[in-house]
Amino acid sequence: MNFLLRTDSYKFTHWKQYPPKTTRIYSYLESRGGMFPNTVFFGLQYYLKHYFEGPRFTPADIAHADEFCLQHFGRDLFNRQGWTRLYDKHHGLLPVRIKAVPEGTVVPLQNVLVTIENTDPEFPWLTNYLETLSLKLWYPTTVATLSREIKRIIGGFLERTGDPSLLPFKLHDFGYRGVSSEESAAIGGAAHLVNFKGTDTVAGIVLLQDYYQAKSMPGFSIPASEHSTITAWGKEHELDAYRNMLQAYPTGLVACVSDSYDIYNACEKLWGEMLKPDVVHRNGTLIIRPDSGDPVTVLTRVFDILGEKFGSETNSKGYRVLSPCVRVIQGDGVNMFTIQNMLYQLSKFYGWSADNLAFGMGGALLQQLNRDTLKFAFKCSAAEINGKWQPVYKDPVTDPGKNSKHGRMALVESEPGRFHSIENVQGAEFENQDCLVPIFENGKILLNHDLDSIRERAEVHFGVPSLSTAQVEK
């Protein structure tokens, strides 16, 4: 698609609207609020490599956009001269500077994450032309933030009731089919893998390999059944379908959806009696997947049956852990709140360790989010007019929450995890403390972040009081 058309229609008309003698427009990206204390910044490198780097347009694209706008508006509004001059001077490269906090950084809400400004004074209108593309960073950042919050929740339960080393595989991405596009699946799936290692969203892995130098395989899965591979055997042959699963994968982990007819009968009679010797003597772990009913009700009874049939032991933290030959994965009705509820009820009222249960999360992980989840905004905060930088801001009486920051900015980390957005920065002030690092200039990507470094920055540390949470509570 023509780069010139990757913007909102009204932006075709904005070049005429800035004050005379405007030479620079400086804008920034922030999360203005939301239900989490922090954001995990992620996704910029994909957007830079895919949409910003190198020559982005040709004279043919300008001609095409010109004709498009003529039809679209029914009159001549397109900035033909400006785009032609931009091409003649920069040959399709974008004369903007982008600074950003390194991906994976955990930044408290309401801080500047990215700044964009034009580097050539002839093209101040280019900065906000890029808003439509840039603001899409809300999506990978919101998925990475949600996924990390759930990691904190599950991690807390593992610390209290079991083995925290199991955490990387406790939240598996089931979301590929439930997202609105292949690109969203790739971006969202990659964002989840900043925090976890289990996924069925293959597109997310490919994105990390193509855009984030993922060295070793960044996401893993295991053999697992779906309903068709069980129900194709017929209701009378459910047992054969399950026996076949154990024979087809004689070792290691194997997951089997077991609610096709009666999850309780499947656990008690089929897995727990008829196939029990095969399960117990198998060199590996059978993971049973319920997929319907009220999750807490179903899980409570499933664990009761499995404990009865396969046995359990009490661990050093006083919680029950099933025989290592059997585990459970819940993939239906899973979101941040239901995960918390399931783990709470199973541990508090039934004494089950979080070790026994993993989660598959689909729509709630990759699709049930929007730009308002973390209130993402891209706003102009400074303009150079007549050779002088001016602060620029909005502050609507009708919603003080929609105010914007003033002037050029720096993001300073005063102590680990505590960040401050400094407004109205003059010249090179704060330059040596600024966490916003130049990452793109005039068509070139200035530095690369690899997945390993992003994961390190986003790592969850337990037992350390979270500074940013304290900041929000205060």
Binding site for ligand AOY (CB under 6 A): 172, 174, 200, 221-222, 224, 255, 287, 289, 329, 331, 360
CA gap 95, 406 in Å, rounded: 23
Nearest to 371 by CA among 39, 84, 111: 39
CA gap 204, 173 in Å, rounded: 10
Least Å from the CB of residue 198 to ligand AOY: 7
Least Å from the CB of residue 355 to ligand AOY: 16
- Is residue 380 within 8 Å of residue 27, measured between CB atoms? yes
Report the residue number, 298 or 454, with the smaller CB distance to ligand AOY.
298
Report the residue number, 90 or 289, with the smaller CB distance to ligand AOY.
289
Q: Find the helix or strand (DSSP H, E) in which 116 lies.
A: strand 112-118
Residue nearest to ligand AOY (CB): 255
Least Å from the CB of residue 307 to ligand AOY: 21
Report the residue number, 334 or 382, with the smaller CB distance to ligand AOY.
334
Report the residue number, 197 or 449, with the smaller CB distance to ligand AOY.
197
How many residues are present in the chain? 474
Least Å from the CB of residue 253 to ligand AOY: 8
89-124 as b/e: b if 16+ CB within 10 A? ebebbbbbbbbbbbbbbbbbbbbbbbbbbbebeebb
Tokens found for residue 339:
């995960």
Least Å from the CB of residue 256 to ligand AOY: 8
Report the residue number, 224 or 369, with the smaller CB distance to ligand AOY.
224
Nearest to 365 by CA among 102, 105, 170, 189: 189
Least Å from the CB of residue 371 to ligand AOY: 26
CA gap 134, 128 in Å, rounded: 9
Least Å from the CB of residue 245 to ligand AOY: 11
Taken in order 262, 265, 270, 272, is the CA torsion positive or negative?
positive
Nearest to 192 by CA among 180, 203, 182, 372: 203
Least Å from the CB of residue 237 to ligand AOY: 21
Report the residue number, 275 or 328, with the smaller CB distance to ligand AOY.
328
Report the residue number, 268 or 291, with the smaller CB distance to ligand AOY.
291
Report the residue number, 195 or 258, with the smaller CB distance to ligand AOY.
258
Nearest to 95 by CA among 73, 74, 75, 123: 123
Other beta carbons within 10 Å of 59: 12
Tokens found for residue 53:
């780097």
Least Å from the CB of residue 319 to ligand AOY: 23
Report the residue number, 296 or 365, with the smaller CB distance to ligand AOY.
365
Report the residue number, 192 or 289, with the smaller CB distance to ligand AOY.
289
Least Å from the CB of residue 142 to ligand AOY: 21
CA gap 474, 472 in Å, rounded: 5
CB contact set of 417 (below 8 Å; sequence gap of 6+): 106, 466, 467, 468
